Structure 1
Amino acid sequence: MIDRLQQWLPRLVLAPSFIVILLFVYGFIAYTGVLSFTDSKMLASYDFVGFENYAKLFGLTNWKTALVNLAIFATLYIVICSVVGLLIAILLDQKIRAEGLLRPIYLYPMALSFIVTGTAWKWFLDPGIGLENIMHLWGWDSFSFTWIKDRDFAIYTLVIAAVWQSSGFVMAMFLAGLRGVDNEIIRAAQIDGATGIRIYTRIIVPMMRPVFLSAFVVLMHLAIKVYDLVIAMTGGGPGRATEMPATFMYSYTFTRNQMGIGATSAVIMLMMIFAIVVPYVYSELSRGGRR
Structure 2
Amino acid sequence: MVIYIAALQGVDHSLLEAAKIDGASYLKVLTKIIVPLILPAFTICFFLTISMAFKIFDLNISLTGGGPFNSTESVAINIYQEAFTNNRYGLGTAKSILFFIVVVIFTTCQVMFTKKKEVEA
TM-score, normalized by the shorter chain, greater than 0.5:
yes
Q: Distance in 1 between matches of 2:2 and 2:93?
A: 36
Q: Distance in 1 between matches of 2:3 and 2:103?
A: 21
Residues 8-157 of structure 1 aligned to structure 2 (within 5 Å): none
Unaligned ranges ≥5, structure 2: none
2:100 to 270, 274, 277: 270
Residues 236-275 of structure 1 aligned to structure 2 (within 5 Å): 236-275=66-105
**1:230 is the counterpart of 2:68:** no
**1:180 is the counterpart of 2:10:** yes
Q: Percent same amino acid among aligned pairs? A: 31
Aligned to 1:210: 40
Q: 1:199 to 1:186 in 2, by over 3 A?
A: farther
CA RMSD of aligned residues (A): 3.3
Q: Distance in 2 between matches of 1:283 and 1:263?
A: 30
Aligned to 1:158: none
Q: 1:285 to 1:186 in 2, by over 3 A?
A: closer
Aligned to 1:150: none
Q: Distance in 2 between matches of 1:239 and 1:264?
A: 24
Would you say how many aligned residue pairs link Structure 1 and Structure 2? 117
Q: Distance in 2 between matches of 1:274 and 1:208?
A: 24
Structure index of larger Rg: 1
Taking structure 2 as the reference length, the TM-score comes to 0.73
Shift of 1:194: 5.0
Report if aligned partners of 2:39, 2:114 keep a CA contact under 8 Å in 1: no
Q: Distance in 1 between matches of 2:28 and 2:8?
A: 12
Q: What is the one-letter code of the residue matched to 1:224?
A: F
Q: What is the one-letter code of the residue matched to 1:269?
A: F
Unaligned ranges ≥5, structure 1: 1-170
Report if aligned partners of 2:54, 2:75 keep a CA contact under 8 Å in 1: yes
